[in-house]
Amino acid sequence: MCGIAGIVSLDGRPIKNIHALMVAMGDKLDHRGPDSSGIYQSRDGLVGLFNNRLSIVGISDNITLPIKNRLNNKILAYNGEIFNHKSLRSELIKQGFSFSTNTDTEVMFCGLEKYGVDFLDKVDGFWSFAYYDSDRKELLLSRDLMGEKPLYYTVYENNLFFASEVSSILSILPKDAVQFNHESIVCSFQYRSTTPGKTLIESIFRVKPGGGIVLNAGRRKLNFINIQKFNLDKWVSFFNSNPSKEQVISAYEEVFFNSCLKRIPDEVDYLSTLSGGIDSSLINVFINKSQKSKHDTLFGKSSLSDVPSNHELSELKVSINTSKKLQTNHHVIDLFDEESYSIYSEVASDCFDGVFCEGVASFRQLAHYLNENNKRVLILSDGPDEALCGYNVDLKVFKTYEYMGRKSRNYREGILSKIHNNSYSRSNGNMLNWSYLVNNPFAVRPNHGGTLPSVMSTLFNNDIAQSSHKAYGTISREYLSMLPELDIMQRAALGYATTSLPEYVNTRSDRAIMGRSIESRLPFQAKELMELMIATPEKWRNNNGKSSKYILRLIVEKYLGNKIAFRSKYGFAEPAWKLDHIYKHLRVKEVIGDSSIFTNAPFNSGAKDFIINSGRSRYTWMAFSLASTINNFESNIKNIGVKYGN
């Protein structure tokens, strides 16, 4: 787990002051790799690469970064983790490779040297990397299919810049070269994240999940390639064979157990979240099955009350009871502590990726606790809500679609047109959500697109407000041939997996957790398990509209009983910024009120007053994040004074 950055000349002229530029970019990534770092400069001055390291695998090895071969003609700047690195190492040894370290970085390097991008199909893990062949002057940038590791890039003055975080790129760009993207701002207010592939900055983009960029130093053309995609054939065939309940449970248990087992660190201490929900409970069941000794679990208390509203056990009590049953070493931390305001202020000022979500602060609080207690890895349960359409709104979508399916096409289109255009739609997010379902090509409004149309039309003029419509929940062209084989919920899951998870959920957790030098691991997002969940038909995912994530609940019931398995869905209850003392300490109203952004495009006149007077809503936090990020840029993100011509 590391941070990477780089510069490539696209016009064939050596990059002046390349070392100083690389140092400046690397300084912004210190938290991603506090253990070691290094810089590569090509002899012709056309390429510079930076890499630092957070030691997780092969921690006793001293490795020169970026890693190079003996001829110094192949170089890899790598950020990621290969969970099957031991078996891949054995395979490469049989191919004649020798290894000087126990790191997975060296496995990735040798695999790329032997197989090129085809090697990535063998990898169970996540990554973003830059692989340079100096003989061919060819650079490959790549990002994993689930987008667990972000990678950003821009072109400025005939140079390509890339980095693990936007702020690294901003650190070397002149201020007059940076403009905030109006459409990205609008999309972030709608979905809590920018349009896939974009950032808040007009000229800075994200490498596509499962994709890459190939370019040659000295040539201006960037070639965008697809490297990985989901293959659902195996599991679609499995479910088409009409398997029994026992066969479905067995398939899930086998794939999930293997994913959990591979993601348990061998060399460093870790914590696994245990919230009391079915996803984290399931992860800890399988970790427990694979461990001879107790493992450590973590609960973040995000509610001032320990009494749930529907007569069920509270999240905290369920978490404690589950820990006792599994005999884990349980840690409980208070996400409402007096110092939480500093983390909220910190994350709000670094939203250049466009993720306007309080969850960044909650995850960073968890990571802060790990860092303070000398842990290195946090195991998270993100993924099933999207891949199995487990949100309450998804269940409502299914029920409505089933009802509409029994009506004539003209009836459906007439009703849904009214839903989309009338005032009830503008005030009711669920109704608008349903109106996506008959559109062609397919799209579904995801759970995180919850800013009401009435709010969007108040904040922004109608033309630009529509620019974010269907930015998420769509299915990209390479999957269109699959759609005839998939039911409505399988399609929705594929939309979530290809947009919401990589570009929102995983971007959020990476920024949050790496901000405290902690690696996150996501067992549910192993490629084969994601393919299994996406391919799961309605019968097993929602029990014909009766219960979300039905198959996972059956497995939890098997190990932990009915009360935990069929509890209602919860999550982080309330963000700490809404508490009076933290709200005032952050100066939320003042920061929004003092910002000029809300009196200019893309905002309508009156948008600022609407935000300030609307209470502590989701878009209040979004506005605070935008204003804080702009303030950070104007005050702290400065050109280091290294000029290309000096």
3-state secondary structure at position 238: helix
Furthest C-alpha separation in the chain: 71
Q: What is the pLDDT of residue 644?
A: 46
Among candidate residues 291, 286, 288, 294, the one with its CA nearest the CA of residue 255: 286
Reading the block at residue 231, the tokens are 């293959």
Residue 435 pLDDT greater than 70, yes or no: no
Query: What single string gives the DSSP state of each residue in 346-370?
Result: HHHT--TT----THHHHHHHHHHHH
- The Cα–Cα gap between 171 and 256 comes to 41
Q: What is the pLDDT of residues 394-413, one digit of tens each?
A: 777 677 666 665 555 455 45
The answer to whether the predicted template modeling score (pTM) of the entire model surpasses 0.85 is yes
pLDDT classification of 29: cutoffs 50, 70, 90: very high
Q: Do the bridges between strand 211-216 and strand 223-226 make them parallel or antiparallel, or are there none, so unpaired? A: antiparallel
H-helix or E-strand spanning residue 374 = none
Q: Break the chain into its structural domains and give their ranges.
A: 2-226, 233-388+496-565, 393-494, 587-635
2-226 belongs to which homologous superfamily?
Aminohydrolase, N-terminal nucleophile (Ntn) domain (3.60.20.10)
Q: What is each CA distance from 555 to 68, 246, 295, 403, in whole angstroms?
A: 46, 10, 21, 30
3-state secondary structure at position 405: helix
- The Cα–Cα gap between 533 and 554 comes to 14
Q: Do the bridges between strand 377-379 and strand 270-273 make them parallel or antiparallel, or are there none, so unpaired? A: parallel
DSSP 104: H
DSSP 74: E
Asked if 468 and 187 count as a contact pair (C-beta separation under 8 A), the reply is: yes
Lowest mean pLDDT among 103-112, 414-423, 624-633: 414-423
Residue 136 pLDDT greater than 90, yes or no: yes
| Dihedral, 598, 604, 608, 614 alpha carbons, nearest 10 | -140
H-helix or E-strand spanning residue 330 = strand 329-334
CATH code for the structural domain at 233-388+496-565 = 3.40.50.620
| Dihedral, 495, 499, 502, 506 alpha carbons, nearest 10 | -90
Q: What is the pLDDT of residues 476-517, one digit of tens each?
A: 889 989 988 998 889 989 999 999 999 999 999 999 999 999
Residue 425 pLDDT greater than 50, yes or no: no
Q: What is the pLDDT of residues 582-599, one digit of tens each?
A: 999 999 999 999 999 999
pLDDT classification of 416: cutoffs 50, 70, 90: low
Q: Do the bridges between strand 152-156 and strand 205-206 make them parallel or antiparallel, or are there none, so unpaired? A: antiparallel
